[in-house]
Amino acid sequence: MMRFKLNSPAIPIGLGVILRLLNIKFILAGPVLKTLIIDSAFYHNRAMEIAGGDILGEGVFFMSPLYSYLMGLIYAVMGAYPVIIAIFQALLSGVTLWLIWSLGKRIAGESAGLIAVWLGAFYPAWIYFDGVMLTASLILFLNTAGLWALVRWFEGKHPGWLIMAGFALGLSALARPGILLFIVVASVWLFIKRYHLAAALLIIWALAAVSGAAIRNIVVSGEFALTTASGGMNFYVGSNPKATGLYVEPDFLKSAEPDYELEDYMNEAKRLSWKDLTAVETSRFWYKMGLLYLIEHPLRAVELWWNKIFYFWNNLEAPNNVSIYLVKRYSPVVKYIPWGFGILASLGLIGLGTLPASPAKRLIWLYIVSLLVVNMLYFTSSEFRFPAVTLLLIGAGIGIGKIAGWVRDKWVDWRIIVLAVAMLFFTHYQTTTAQKLTKPRMDYFNLGSVSLKQGDFNSAERFFLLSLAEDANFIEGHMGLGTTLLEKGDYVRAAAEFNAAGYPVTPEFLQEQKALENREP
């Protein structure tokens, strides 16, 4: 009979996978994996095209391609069922948990690694990401594998570990390009430390991983883009007059769905520049527009950077797709685990700060600062900061180990206690914006919008009503419900919803407009 030691990572890894599978079971009762929205819908649709034989697709990549291709491979083998992707992510996270244990053991000792894997197994945001069709779980695995390989290289200087690190981090760039900053910074740091071959290997193998996408972009579109052509648009989201530091759509976007988003950005760039622009040229245009705004408004730039730093470390799980707050409505696994990013960040940063000086420690801070800078350049979201979890879990393991040691020795370092309390206050402070985002009104609105486009008016009505139940003054919710009721021929209720949204109309007017619309050839 197989026996597990109490200090074995197998127990928390097994429990972590079970919790993730239970979460999937619960959310199957809701709309999360049934009515796919925004990025999830794009990945699913593109994966079905890939599984059907459309390997190259059209145009330069706008969305990062790796996740769709991985999904397409799974769909080709097992069928186009989103639940299969969620199960795959749960199992993949079991491997990631092992890597975190091994990495933590190497950086900070056996105890810190084991505590880190227990915390990771029960971390609600990670469980949530494993149950939705987004790139977060895949990126966490690839980044953790890359960091693990880099630390292994420091132990024995075998070049194979650098090849693995470069390739894993390069693949991560195909799921989200932000990791490219860390690859460059880490390579420069290695070069400065006179590890010239190591720096070259890291860069070369990262480029090898992304080269297929770059070549494909040239072949299919005639334009060069190392990974995607969406960087400028994302930069503008975080650097414009209405930016908050979080994801807020520009006014000219008719939809946040990727299939329409690029078209809207290109049309607006054409209107402002008076010339037709390609996708890559459009990205450059929006980089320029965002940069000009920051240069012309330096105080506003500082405000936005501060907001992004604040929300990066805040307990809020800021959504830019399906949110954790929607999943909590259906999954008690995510809902009732009573801790979150604020506690993790507070313990993690303090724990990492107590590590003795070493190349691994410098690498850790280069990684965390690189992630923070990327969020400051673009915008902060739960998904974009999630890769920091690997090292914060290890840091939290160190911190908890120190607290246990203080209890055992009946001694306390009050400086660290005061710092920890200050960190907890900072990370748990809720702004008015944060309070609004903890309600899934936008999730239900997006679900209603998708159902409306699909002609499922009953589901659309239900989702818009749920959106308004979260916020009775939500104008977009009233408009969506009014449009749905208009399609159903309920002119009295439709007029009431449009009036609530600030557009006064009568049922008779709506009925006449609908009759005219139906008469048009």
Write the pLDDT tens digit of every residue in 61-100.
999 999 999 999 999 999 999 999 999 999 999 999 999 9
Q: Give the largest Cα separation in the chain, rounded.
A: 84
Q: Rg of the Cα trace of the chain?
A: 24
Crossing angle of helices 159-173 and 136-156, rounded to 10°: 160
pLDDT tens, position by position, 436-455 = 899 999 999 999 999 999 99
**Burial status of residue 517 (CB atoms within 10 A of its CB: 0-12, 13-18, 19 or more):** exposed
Count of C-beta atoms within a 10 Å radius of residue 339: 14
Residue 7: its pLDDT value, please? 76
Distance of CA 260 to the CA centre of its chain: 20
pLDDT tens, position by position, 359-394 = 888 999 999 999 999 999 999 999 999 999 999 999
**Taking a C-beta distance cutoff of 8 angstroms, is the pair 52, 72 a contact?**
no
Terminal CA-CA length for the chain: 75
Whether the predicted pLDDT of 122 surpasses 60: yes
pLDDT tens, position by position, 170-218 = 999 999 999 999 999 999 999 999 999 999 999 999 999 999 999 999 9
Residue 444: which H helix or E strand, with range? helix 441-453
**Taking a C-beta distance cutoff of 8 angstroms, is the pair 103, 148 a contact?**
yes
Q: Which residue has the higher pLDDT, 320 or 123?
A: 123
- 439 Ramachandran zone, left/alpha/beta (phi>0; psi -120 to 50): beta
CA angle 201, 388, 318 (to 5 degrees): 135
Residue 189: its pLDDT value, please? 96
Percent with pLDDT over 90 in the chain: 85
Concatenate the DSSP letters of all residues of 296-340 into one string: H-HHHHHHHHHHHHHHHHSS----SSS-HHHHTTT-HHHHS----
- Segment 11-35 shows an average pLDDT of 96
Please give the class, per CATH, of domain 441-519: mainly alpha
Rounded distance between C-alpha atoms, residue 270 and residue 285, angstroms:
10
**Taking a C-beta distance cutoff of 8 angstroms, is the pair 501, 475 a contact?**
yes
SS3 category, 146: helix
Token readout for 322 is: 């399906």
Rounded distance between C-alpha atoms, residue 46 and residue 61, angstroms:
12
Residue 1: its pLDDT value, please? 40
**Taking a C-beta distance cutoff of 8 angstroms, is the pair 491, 510 a contact?**
yes
Whether the predicted pLDDT of 138 surpasses 70: yes
Q: What's this model's pTM, rounded to 2 decimal places?
A: 0.95
Predicted confidence band of residue 321 (pLDDT cuts 50, 70, 90)? confident
Domain boundaries, the chain: 10-223+315-432, 231-297, 441-519
Question: Which residue, chain included where needed, has tokens 């308004």?
Answer: 468
